[in-house]
Amino acid sequence: MARINDVGGMQGFGAVDTTDDTEPFHADWEARVVGLFNALRAQGLFNTNEFRDAIESIPPARYLTTSYYERWFIAICALLERKGVLAPGELDGAVGAVGPDGLARPGGSAGLGQPGGPDA
Amino acid sequence: MPDRFAPGDLVRTYLHDPPHHTRLPRYARGKRGVVVEAEGGAQLADVSAQGRDDAPVEQVYAVRFAARDLWGEGDHHVVLDLWESYLEEDPEDER
Amino acid sequence: MSGDHHDDALISRRVRRLETLLEEKGVLSGGALDEVIDAFLSGASPANGARVVARAWTDPAFRSRLLADGTAAVRELGFMDGSYQRLRVVENTETLHNVIVCTLCSCYPLRLLGPSPSWYKSESYRSRVVREPRAVLAEFGLGLPADTEISVWDSSAETRYMVLPRRPAGTESLDETELAALVTRNALIGTAAV
């Protein structure tokens, strides 16, 4: 079945914002996420296709409301849980009101130990 | 193994709709196209995405589609890079 | 870009926390990420692609090699060494215009073009350029004659595409360095002319 990343020919995304941004990253954490991806992939923890699969598996409503590198972070967290490097919910402990995939739930609470991740 | 397709061959993409990762976009499923060139072998992404290291290596082809065959209209072309197992001969071709 | 409502500071803390956890577990070593980030950015620039184009404009034999085997030709200039990816250069002509996209994710010739612009990764661009390229190119200010053919290259495997733009008229007296300075990132993607 087609996934939310498969947008070729889909209507409704509006005009292209053609702003020619030359900065590769808009915040330092985006660079860190790219670094995490490259370092973990280089170690053989996952391959590029698994990583793409994890991004594509983000539920559509979520995918469309997260930024490009937020999706990367969600995917990395999901893969680390799938590979047993992180226990489910392990990342939540020290950081407060966030979901099991590493992102803030406005007004929500963390749900320590909840099953989850984008592919759950 | 020799390539199954050669440049200029008329092909059709499979109308497959797998529940897993694939690199055949939905807009190009079950569509007829023309092989532009072979690109070289690559591990089949559908299998590799499952974390398996036994993904078969297949030839990948650049395949050119007319917009009217994809969308029913338009005068441009779209080229996709498609694994051999995404493609079959198109014997019914009327072009 | 979507998702601006998320708290940057909170995500930043999450990312740092993950780094710390991975270091504690011995999965990452301290400083490893900085090296990887530096390596990711070093040497990846649209100036590389521009240099390739300027060489192709001034050296017909190189141009032929570039169009026949992009990977090998750019390696002559020291680019893409050690990459497992294949480079295919597609040439604009009087009658054909090429434009690059990745509808499924964001595949892009990073080493030759540098990090991709946000619009290249946007749903708007990815969804529409395969369906209505003329309208999308017009949004970039690129109007093409009605009889110009358009080929959209949707990178879906291990080949990365780069456009060889047309050399503008009146540039006969420019040398290779001056020519390279004319070539923009968008021209290498196909959303601009030179």
Buried b (16+ CB within 10 A) or exposed e, B69-93: bbbeebebbbbbbbbbebbeebeee
Note whether A65 and C3 are within 8 A (CB). Answer: yes
- What are the extents of the domains in chain A? 28-120
- The CA distance from C6 to C52, in Å, is 40
Number of Cβ pairs < 8 A linking chain B and chain C:
64
Q: Is B66 inside any structural domain? A: yes
Q: A62 — phi, psi (to 5°)?
A: -70, -45
Contacts with A, B 64-83, CB within 8 Å:
70-71
C81-133 per-position pLDDT tens digit: 878 899 999 999 999 999 999 999 999 999 999 989 999 999 999 999 999 99
Residue ranges for chain B with pLDDT beneath 70: 92-95
Contacts with A, C 144-163, CB within 8 Å:
154
What is the model's pLDDT at position C6? 54
Distance in Å, alpha carbon of C21 to nearest chain A alpha carbon: 8
Cα dihedral C184, C186, C190, C194 sign:
negative
CB atoms within 10 A of CB C41: 16
Buried b (16+ CB within 10 A) or exposed e, C126-149: bbbbbbbbbebbebbebeeeeebe
C157-166 per-position pLDDT tens digit: 999 999 999 9
What is the reported pTM?
A: 0.91
Q: Domain of residue B84: give its range.
A: 10-89
Q: Is B5 inside any structural domain? A: no
Can you give the length of chain C in residues? 194
Q: Is B3 inside any structural domain? A: no
Q: Which residues of B touch C151 (CB under 8 A)?
A: 64, 76-79
- The CA distance from C149 to C126, in Å, is 20
Q: Which chains touch C (3+ CB pairs under 8 A)? A: A, B
A40-79 per-position pLDDT tens digit: 999 999 999 999 999 999 999 999 999 999 999 999 999 9
C31-89 per-position pLDDT tens digit: 888 888 888 888 889 999 999 999 999 999 999 999 999 999 999 999 988 788 999 99
B46 vs A22 pLDDT, higher one: B46
**Mean of pLDDT over chain A:** 82
Q: Which CATH number fits the domain that encloses residue B76?
A: 2.30.30.50
How many domains are contained in chain B?
A: 1
Which residue among the candidates C12, C29, C105, C156 is catalytic per the annotation? Answer: C105
Residue C143 has pLDDT above 60, yes or no: yes
What is the model's pLDDT at position A118? 36
Can you give the length of chain A in residues? 120
Q: Quick check: A13 and C7 CB within 8 A?
A: no
Domain annotation for chain C: domains and CATH numbers: 8-41 (no CATH), 46-189 (3.90.330.10)
CATH architecture, range A28-120: Orthogonal Bundle (1.10)
Chain B contact probe: residue of C86, C123, C156 with most B CBs at under 10 A: C156
What is the model's pLDDT at position B93? 57
Chain A contact probe: residue of C14, C134, C185 with most A CBs at under 10 A: C14
Q: Is B60 inside any structural domain? A: yes
Q: Which chains touch B (3+ CB pairs under 8 A)? A: A, C
